[in-house]
Amino acid sequence: MPSKRHNFIVSITRVKELWYIVARIVRLYSVVYINKNSIPFSMEMMFMDDNEDRIHDSIRKRFIYNIASNVRNFKITKHQYKLNLQNATKVVVQEDNCVSSYPYNFICVTDIFLKDHDRYYLIDKFTNQLCWSIDVMGTKIIVGTKREYERGGVKTKMN
């Protein structure tokens, strides 16, 4: 059981600068520079607390920590804010298993597209289209056509 003084993810705002959260990493991936595939730009994570609330966390190359609005190019949780870690951030392994180690809720693929289905999502700021942040068990059998976006005079190609 976590300490009584810990904060839940749902209560995170910009009002405070110091938070004590107990959470499990339920998604982890690296983002690399577009033209330099071997150079990491950041490590992205999704944290989940024992109430199953989730928040996006980003460790940038420079380790800048703050509470930021969750309005960047892609939004992977519904939380209004996301966390950014820095060198002074303290992360401690918690020995008790107060946060669920099985955060997944498997559903039929056809149910993903229903409007009433509550899901964590990505918003593509380039096209303003809804994209899904889902865990998939299966095999990729086809890749769609390449799309090209232009932002600030820089062209980006995406699949």
pLDDT band, very low/low/confident/very high, at 23 (cuts 50, 70, 90): confident
Phi/psi at 131 (nearest 5 deg)?
A: -125, 155
What's the mean pLDDT when you consider all of the chain?
Answer: 68
pTM (predicted TM-score): 0.48
pLDDT band, very low/low/confident/very high, at 144 (cuts 50, 70, 90): low
pLDDT tens track for 101-126: 655 556 666 666 665 555 544 444 44
Any idea where the domains of the chain sit in the sequence?
9-84, 109-158
Residue 53 sits at the vertex; the CA angle it makes with 48 and 56, to the nearest 5 degrees, is 60
pLDDT tens track for 64-102: 444 455 655 666 666 676 776 666 666 666 666 666 665
What distance in Å separates the CA atoms of residue 129 and residue 111, rounded to the nearest whole number? 18
What distance in Å separates the CA atoms of residue 68 and residue 14, rounded to the nearest whole number? 8
Asked whether the beta carbons of 56 and 29 are under 8 A apart, the reply is no
pLDDT tens track for 36-68: 666 667 778 888 888 888 888 877 766 544 445
Instruction: Tell me the sheet residues that pair with 60.
Output: 42
Residue 21 carries which DSSP code? B
Tokens found for residue 52: 């199953």
9 pLDDT above the threshold of 80: yes
